[in-house]
Structure 1
Amino acid sequence: MGQILLSYSQAQRHRGQKAVMLYSGGLDSMYTALMLKELGLEVHALTADVGQAMPGHLCGTASALGIRLEIADVRSALCEENITKGILANALFNDHYPISSSYTRPLIAREAVKLARKIGARLIIHSATPLQNSAARYTTSIMALAPEMDIFCPAVGEYASREEKMAALAPFLEALGIPFPLSPSLYSVDENLWARVIESGPLEDCTQDVPPHGVFEWTAPPEACSTEPLELTLELREGLPVALNGQSMPLLAMIGELNGVLGRYGIGRYTGLEDGLFGTKMPELREAPAACMIHASHVKLEEAVLSAQELRIKKSLDREWTHLVVTGGWYSELKGTLDAAMAAFNRDITGWVRWRVSPGQMFCISRSAEKGMYVSRFPAFAQEFQQYSLNSFFQQLGRQQRLGDGTAIPHDAAAGGEEQADDLILELVLQR
C-alpha cells in the first residue's frame, strides 16, 4: 500500500529511482522540479494538453531543470469521457457556473499512473497547494487508480509562498539564460478547452469591483461585442450535443466553434465563490461560452421531457454528482452509480433548441423534443378534461408519470369497470 509523502526528507527514500511529476511549466511546478533536482530522483515530467495555452518556455525550463518531459494530448478524452458526463448531470457548481478543473485533474492523474507504470516508477508528484481543491482531486484520483504507489505532495507539507518560489527560481533560470518574470503574475489562471478560471491577486477581495480590462480573454466586453443578432440551433441526442445549425460535429469541435462565436457576444462570463476544503471560499471569475449554451440547452430539453417528479429528483442527484467530483470523487463507487442514473434520466432527452444571441444575452426562441410532454402534443387533452371520468383521470395521471410512451389510455378502458382500468395501469407500469 502506497503512502502520502509530505516533505522532501520523506521523498528521499526514492533517491536514484524513477518518479513521475505533473508539470505545467508554471511557478508551482517549476519550483517543485528545482527542489526535486537536489534529491537525486530521475524525474519524468508529464504535461497534459487539455486545450490550454502552452507556456513558450515549457520545454526549455524542463530541460534546464533536468527532467524528461512528455506531453500527452488528452483533449478528445476530456470531451468524450469527462465533460459528457458533466453535461448529463448539469454540472453547475452551486447551480451557478460550469465546473472545470474537476474534469481535468482526474484525467491528468490517470495519464500519470499510465506513465508511471510504463517506466516502472513507484512515486507520483504533484505541486498543488493545500489552498487548492486540485490537491484533493489529484491525490484521491491517484490513490484510486494506483493504491500501491507513493504520492508526494510537497506544497501541502512544505508550503512556500509565491514570493519565496520566485526568489528561488529567478537566479537559477537567469544563470541558464532562460527568461522568466521577476514578479508574480497579477492573477492565477487555470485554462482548458471548456473554461478559463481566473483567481488570486486583487480578486481575492470580493468587495472590490472586478477590473474592466486585463482579466477576460475569451469573451468580449459590452462595448466591443458583435451587435448583429445571431440565431443558433443546438441538437442533442440522449442528452449530449451532436449538431450545431444542422451540421453534425464531435464535441471537441463544437466547443471550439461555440467558444469563438459566443465569446464575440460576451456570453459565458461568471463570477462566484468556490468552496475550499477548509471552509473558506475562493472568489474567482470564469469564462465558458460553449459550456453556457450547452448546459442551458440541456436544461431546456429536460424541462420539456421529464415529469415534475423526475426533474425534482434529478436536480437533487445533479447536485450530489457535482459535489462529489468537485471534492475529488471521480473514481469513487458512488460516482459510477450516479453516472448510471444520469444515463437513464437522459435516455429520452433528444431534440433541438434554437437561441437568439445578442450582446450579453441568449434567449431561447423555440425548442422541440421527440418525447416532449408539452400540451400541443396532446390535442385531445382539453376534451378529455371537460369529459372528466375515471378514464381521463388515469390518462392524466399516466401522462404526469410518463407511463409507457406518454400516450393516453384507450377511451374504452373505463368500459370494463374499475378493475379493468387498474389492470391497464399495472400493465403500463410494468412496461415502463
Structure 2
Amino acid sequence: MKKIRSIADISALNGQVDHILTLFSGGLDSTYLLELLKESNIKVTALAVDMGDGIDSKLLSYIAAHYGVDLIIEDGRQSFVEHSIVSAIQAQAMYLGDYPVSSSLSRPVIIKHAVEIAEKLNCGAICHTANQSQNSLRRLNGAIERSSFDGFYGSPYEYSAISREEKITSLSMSGLFEFSGRNVSGDSNLWCREFESGVLDNPEGFDLCESLFHWSVWNPALQLADSSVSITFQKGMPTRVNGTVMPLIKMVEYLNKHIGSYQIGRYIGFDHLENDEKVLEIREAPAASALMSAYRHLEVAVLETEVLRMKTLHSQTWTNEAVEGRWGSHLHQATQAFISQIAQSVSGTVTFSLSQGQLFMSNIVADKARYLTDRDAWEIQVANERSQRTITTENTLQLISTSA
C-alpha cells in the first residue's frame, strides 16, 4: 500500500517520486503542507478546484509563488452540479435529518480532477491535508482508492498531529502572516459553507461568531419584493425560480443570495468520526434548504405512501454511503437507481413565504397530484359512488360497493 500518513512519509518520498500534486485551498493546513515540502527535491504542483464558493486566485498565486510551486485552478462547479447536487436533492441527503451533507458530495469531484491532472503530469503522489478528526480523511482516500491512480496518496496529518498555533507560528516565520487571525477550519462550495475546530472545538462552551456567515445574513436590500419564492421541478430536476428558467448553478447562487438574506439556512449539529467520536459543525445552506424542501413537498404530493416509505429507507442508505465515502459502491448505485427512477414522477411548483429564519410553504401545484383540492366535493362524490344499491332478483337490496 502506497499510503502517506505522516511527515516522515513526506520526507521518504525523496528519491521515490519526481512530482507531487497537492490539494490546495489556500487555508492553513494546505499551506503548511507546502511548508513541509519546501525542503524536498521534488517538483510540487498545487491544485485548487473551484467548487462554487469563489476562489481567491490572487491569494493562491501569492502563496504558490512564495513556495515556488506551480499552481493549477480547475473549475469543478459543473461536475459538482451534475455528479452530486441533483442526486442530493432527490435523495434528500440530510445527515441524520439534521443538516444537508456537503463535503461528502464534493470529495469525489475534487479527486476526479486531481487524478486526471496527476496522471497528465506524471505525478507519483497525491497529497491532501485531512486529519483524524475530519471525515474527509476517509472520503478523500476512498475516492483515490477507487480511481485509476496507482501512486502514493494520503495526508501527512493522519499520524502527525500539529496544532493550529504551531502551524501559524511556522508560517509566520516563513513570511506568511495571513493566518494569524484564523480561528476556525472551514470547507465551502456552491451547496454549503461549513465550519469546525478552533473556537468551535468544545460543544460545552464555544463562540459562534456572526462573521462566519456569508449567505444567511439579514439583508433587506437583497430580500424579494413580496417575500416569496417559487421553485419548479420537471421530472425531478429543478428548472425554474419564480417562473424564470435557470441553470442549476445560477439557481443555487440566486437562492443562496436572496433566501439567505432572511437568515434562512443555518444549521448546527454533530458529525461522527470513524470510531464514533462526535465533533461540532456549523453550516449555512439556504439554497439547499429551499430546494430539498420543495422537492420533498412535491414527492409527497405525487407518490404513493408506500413508495414514500421505501424512498425514505433508500434516502437514508444513499446518504450514509455518501457520508462514509463509498460513492460508486454496489449499494450506493442500487439506491441511486431507485431514487432516480421515482424522480421521473416529481413535477410541479412549490411557493414559499419567507420571514426571518423561516421558509414556509404557501402554495403547491403538482403534476398528477394525489392531494384533494375540494374536500367537500370529494366527500359527496365518494359517498354517492360507495353507497349505490340495486334490486336483486329476490327483490332485496344488494350493496354494490361497501368499501371504506
Corresponding residue number in structure 2 for 1:402 = none
Give the AA of the match of 1:249.
M
Structure 1 residues 68 and 144, CA gap change in structure 2 (3 angstroms) = same
Corresponding residue number in structure 2 for 1:155 = 157
Structure 1 residues 14 and 321, CA gap change in structure 2 (3 angstroms) = farther
> What is the 5 A alignment of 1:139-150?
139-146=141-148, 148-150=150-152
Deviations 1:273-315 (A, max 9, x none): 1122221211121111111100100010011011111111111
Normalised to the residue count of structure 1, the TM-score between the two structures is 0.83
Corresponding residue number in structure 1 for 2:192 = 195
Deviations 1:374-422 (A, max 9, x none): 13499667534554389xxxxxxxxxxxxxxxxxxxxxxx99xxxxxxx
Corresponding residue number in structure 2 for 1:4 = 3
Say if 2:66 is the partner of 1:64.
yes
Give 1:101 shift: 0.9
Counterparts of 1:223 and 1:215 in 2: how far apart (Å)?
A: 19
Structure 1 SS opposite 2:386 = coil
Structure 1 SS opposite 2:72 = strand
Corresponding residue number in structure 1 for 2:40 = 39
Structure 1 residues 364 and 152, CA gap change in structure 2 (3 angstroms) = closer
Structure 1 or 2: more helix by fraction: 1
Please list every run of 5 or more consecutive structure 2 residues that lacks an aligned counterpart in the other structure.
389-398
Q: Is the 8 A contact 2:47 2:114 kept in 1?
A: yes
Give the AA of the match of 2:141.
T
How many pairs were matched up? 387
Deviations 1:214-265 (A, max 9, x none): 3322112499995975121100012221001111010000011111111111
Q: Is the 8 A contact 1:92 1:99 kept in 2?
A: yes
Corresponding residue number in structure 2 for 1:19 = 20
Structure 1 residues 109 and 261, CA gap change in structure 2 (3 angstroms) = same
Paired-residue identity, %: 32
Structure 2 SS opposite 1:155 = coil
Give 1:331 shift: 3.0
Corresponding residue number in structure 2 for 1:86 = 88
Give the AA of the match of 1:28.
D
Say if 2:355 is the partner of 1:368.
no
Q: Is the 8 A contact 1:227 1:359 kept in 2?
A: no
Residue 347 of structure 2, aligned match among 345, 350, 358: 350
Corresponding residue number in structure 2 for 1:218 = 215
Give the AA of the match of 2:178.
F
Normalised to the residue count of structure 2, the TM-score between the two structures is 0.88
Corresponding residue number in structure 1 for 2:105 = 103
Corresponding residue number in structure 1 for 2:51 = 50
Counterparts of 1:20 and 1:330 in 2: how far apart (Å)?
A: 23
Structure 2 SS opposite 1:234 = strand
Q: Is the 8 A contact 1:196 1:288 kept in 2?
A: yes
Residue 169 of structure 1, aligned match among 168, 171, 178: 171
Please list every run of 5 or more consecutive structure 1 residues that lacks an aligned counterpart in the other structure.
391-413, 416-432
Give 1:38 shift: 2.3
Counterparts of 1:59 and 1:207 in 2: how far apart (Å)?
A: 39
Please give the root-mean-square deviation of Cα atoms over the aligned residues, in Å.
2.6
Q: Is the 8 A contact 2:372 2:378 kept in 1?
A: no
Give 1:59 shift: 0.8
Counterparts of 2:218 and 2:205 in 1: how far apart (Å)?
A: 19
Corresponding residue number in structure 2 for 1:400 = none
Q: Is the 8 A contact 2:267 2:283 kept in 1?
A: yes
Corresponding residue number in structure 2 for 1:270 = 267
Corresponding residue number in structure 1 for 2:394 = none
Corresponding residue number in structure 1 for 2:126 = 124
Q: Is the 8 A contact 2:28 2:168 kept in 1?
A: yes
Structure 1 residues 31 and 211, CA gap change in structure 2 (3 angstroms) = closer
Q: Is the 8 A contact 2:51 2:80 kept in 1?
A: yes
Deviates more, 1:136-145 or 1:163-172: 163-172
Structure 1 residues 200 and 254, CA gap change in structure 2 (3 angstroms) = same
